[in-house]
Structure 1
Amino acid sequence: MKNFVYIVTDRNRNSLHVGMSADLIKTLEFYKQMPNLFFDSSQQLSRLVYFEEFRTEEQALSRFKLISRFTRSQKEKMIRSCNPDWIDLTIGLDFENVVMQKKLDTQVKMSFIGMS
């Protein structure tokens, strides 16, 4: 099982949120679908700008704790080292196709159940 430590931000890069997840795609889907309960749309944390993959949960937790203590400046430096333009990395994860495939799979299952 893979484990991820990630940083998401809003479109204006005002907020940086460090997180940890065993299912990065599912977590990102949650961020994108989450209603704007706490923020307006410009402040919604929806852009993946950094992530690391780990083999064990213990490794990921250790790194998560470390990055969480970083200052904003340290986090920005880390992000810029591998993502200088702060592009949304969900594109590289083929996020949209994975989400669409999940929706199609669900529709097929629902259709199959309806046929029984």
Structure 2
Amino acid sequence: MPRREYHFWVYILSSRSRNLYIGMTNSLIRRTSTHREEVPGTHTARYSIHRLVYFEYFRYVRSAIAREKELKHWTREQKIELIERVNPTWEDLFLTLQEPVGFEG
């Protein structure tokens, strides 16, 4: 029986006014979709934070958790620099996402 392959992502969402939210998930499409629904009472809904502007892939959950914690302790300037290094125009990357082949999540 083949071993199950795991997928984890650390991501940054932004509002149009560049309020930021950092999170970690095992299903980037599903989690980002949830944020985009703007469920009342949530931080992301309150500030219209639903544009996926940055993400990183990890194979191991502990690595993803450690990276999320690291990014949350960065200054705002460091986070902006990270985003602009790979996404200088702050485009919403959600539409570019595809689940990994063979992934059942």
Q: Once superposed, what is the RMSD of the aligned Cα atoms?
A: 2.2
Identity, % of aligned pairs?
34
Alignment coverage as a number of residue pairs: 94
Rounded to whole Å, the distance in 1 between the matches of 2:46 and 2:8 is 28
Q: Deviations over 1:43-91 (max 9, x none)?
A: 3111000000000001101111111100000000000000000000002
**Among 14, 18, 25, which residue is 1:21 paired with?**
25
Q: Is the 8 A contact 1:6 1:51 kept in 2?
A: yes
Change (3 A) 1:55 1:33: same
Change (3 A) 1:87 1:34: same
Q: Deviations over 1:24-53 (max 9, x none)?
A: 1111111011234357x7931110000000
**Letter paired with 2:35:** Y
Higher-Rg structure is 1
More helix by share: 1
1:34 aligns with 2:38: yes
TM-score normalized with structure 2 length: 0.80
Query: Which consecutive residues of structure 1, in runs of 5 or more, have no partner in the other structure?
Result: 96-116
Change (3 A) 1:55 1:94: closer
Rounded to whole Å, the distance in 2 between the matches of 1:63 and 1:38 is 23
Moved over 2 A (4+): 34-39
1:47 aligns with 2:51: yes
**Among 74, 80, 92, which residue is 2:78 paired with?**
74
TM-score normalized with structure 1 length: 0.73
